[in-house]
Amino acid sequence: MAPVANASKSSKRLPPAIRRKALIERVQTNLFSSVPNTILTLLCIIALVLAVPDLLRWVLVNAVWYSPDGSACRAPDAGACWALIPEKYRLILFGTYPYEEHWRAALACILIIGMTVICGIRKLWSWQLLIVWLIVITAAIALLYGGILGLSVVGTHMWGGLPLTLLLFVGTVLGGLPLAVLLALGRVSNLPGIKAVCTGVIEITRGVPLVTVLFMAALMLPLFLPDGLTINKLMRAQIGMIIFFAAYAAEVVRGGLQAIPRGQYEAADSINLSYWKRTRMIVLPQAFRIILPALMNDVIRAFKNTTFVSIIGLYDILGATKAATNDPIWVRYSAEGYLFVFMLYFAFCYSMSRYSMGIERSLSARRNY
């Protein structure tokens, strides 16, 4: 990208004009360019014709949109029972959080989502953003927990749904990243003892499933704590998720550390920067630019992995949906509930992955070594 831009600047040459193909021409080159291609197109169209009308009939035409007692869903030709959603959306979104206090949970979600969006604006990237994050998270937790400003106290065992998912996600990423950087630095360090410890932690954590890490955090951690000290279940799940995320992210960070040209390290040494100064001012800023797209993959995975806490009995969105469809009226319509959860997660993950692709494009355009 960069050389092209320079060339056009120096000689004032314009890039060649791209002729927009006419619609018919595009259809021909893309769908009917050869005999096999035409056959493929026809097969695809046949498959679509067979599948789409039935699907549309189920999803839209025959679907039941409103039926408080679910009776309309039991009609013989009824399609998808979306009536579940207006009836249960409060339970799905906020779990077992007290009904009258749902506004607090909603506000906490808005705070976190808003902060995430602000974080996506690259002009605002700075270290101060981390401090703002801590303030926002503290505010969200205070809002959920209550006990101040006359808000009633809501224990963490009653938290659930979207606020729980978002809190776990943000906590995992913000808590896991510093740990990941430390683990990665340890793994590429030339001190064999520290290297062995970090490599062991990373490899062992990556070798076992996340659910078992959560299971350990839920069941085994209390056994190792001194008498009288207890950590609540939510916090234990959070610790498990942080360690797991950090182990994966550490490998990504290590990739970035190793991708930095040797000369950068040598230059830093030649002006006698200490190890930590070199790491903070020279190595990490460049490493993060290289690894950002790969790191975003891990961040998206961390978001999807928040559903795993439903296995150890927390009511995140998935756990709350399961609870909602345990109701005998709606027990046959959990598929619709899961589809709703799919849409929620898809909205979050798809926008994050699109955003990361955008970042990747602009970063690779700017890099010039």
- For the bound state, the minimum distance from the C-beta of residue 131 to another protein, rounded and expressed in Å, comes to 29
The phi, psi pair for 81, rounded to 5°, reads -100, 75
Q: Report the Cα–Cα distance between both ends of the chain, in Å, rounded.
A: 12
Of residues 209-228, those binding another protein (CB under 8 A): 209-212, 215-216, 219-220, 222-227
Nearer to another protein, 42 or 61 (CB): 42
Q: Is 208 in the site for another protein (CB under 8 A)?
A: yes
Q: Is 191 in the site for another protein (CB under 8 A)?
A: yes
Mark the segment that binds another protein (CB under 8 A) among 98-106, 234-242, 310-318, 360-368. Answer: 310-318
Out of 1, 2, 5, 44, point to the residue binding another protein (CB under 8 A): 44
Residue 167 near residue 141, CB atoms below 8 Å: yes
Nearer to another protein, 109 or 111 (CB): 109
Is 208 strand, coil or helix?
coil
Residue 337 near residue 321, CB atoms below 8 Å: yes
Q: Is 276 in the site for another protein (CB under 8 A)?
A: no
Mark the segment that binds another protein (CB under 8 A) among 16-24, 40-48, 83-91, 285-293. Answer: 40-48
CB within 8 Å of 331: residues ≥ 6 apart: 325
Would you state the structure tokens that stand for residue 230, as one six-digit string? 């207890």
β-pair partners for 81 = 64
Q: How many CB atoms lie within 10 A of CB 18?
A: 6
Give which of 89, 94, 67, 98 is closest to 80, Cα–Cα. 67
Q: Is 169 in the site for another protein (CB under 8 A)?
A: no
CB within 8 Å of 253: residues ≥ 6 apart: 180, 181, 183, 184, 287, 291, 295
Region for 313 from its dihedrals, namely left if φ exceeds 0, alpha if ψ lies in -120 to 50, beta otherwise: left
C-alpha 30, offset from chain centre? 34
Q: Is 199 in the site for another protein (CB under 8 A)?
A: no
Out of 60, 130, 194, 231, point to the residue binding another protein (CB under 8 A): 194
Mark the segment that binds another protein (CB under 8 A) among 34-42, 54-62, 82-90, 105-113. Answer: 34-42
Q: State whether the Cα torsion 245-246-250-256 is positive or negative.
A: positive
Give which of 88, 85, 93, 128 is closest to 113, Cα–Cα. 93
Region for 149 from its dihedrals, namely left if φ exceeds 0, alpha if ψ lies in -120 to 50, beta otherwise: left
Nearer to another protein, 6 or 30 (CB): 30
Nearer to another protein, 198 or 234 (CB): 198
Q: Is 355 in the site for another protein (CB under 8 A)?
A: no
- For the bound state, the minimum distance from the C-beta of residue 222 to another protein, rounded and expressed in Å, comes to 8
Nearer to another protein, 178 or 209 (CB): 209
Q: Is 193 in the site for another protein (CB under 8 A)?
A: yes
Q: Is 45 in the site for another protein (CB under 8 A)?
A: yes
Would you state the structure tokens that stand for residue 362, as one six-digit string? 């602009």
- For the bound state, the minimum distance from the C-beta of residue 276 to another protein, rounded and expressed in Å, comes to 13
Would you state the structure tokens that stand for residue 313, as one six-digit string? 């009995």
- Return residues touching another protein (CB under 8 A): 30-31, 33, 37, 40-41, 44-45, 190-194, 197, 204, 206-212, 215-216, 219-220, 222-227, 300, 304-308, 310-311, 318, 322, 332, 334-335, 338-339, 341-342, 345-346, 349-350, 353
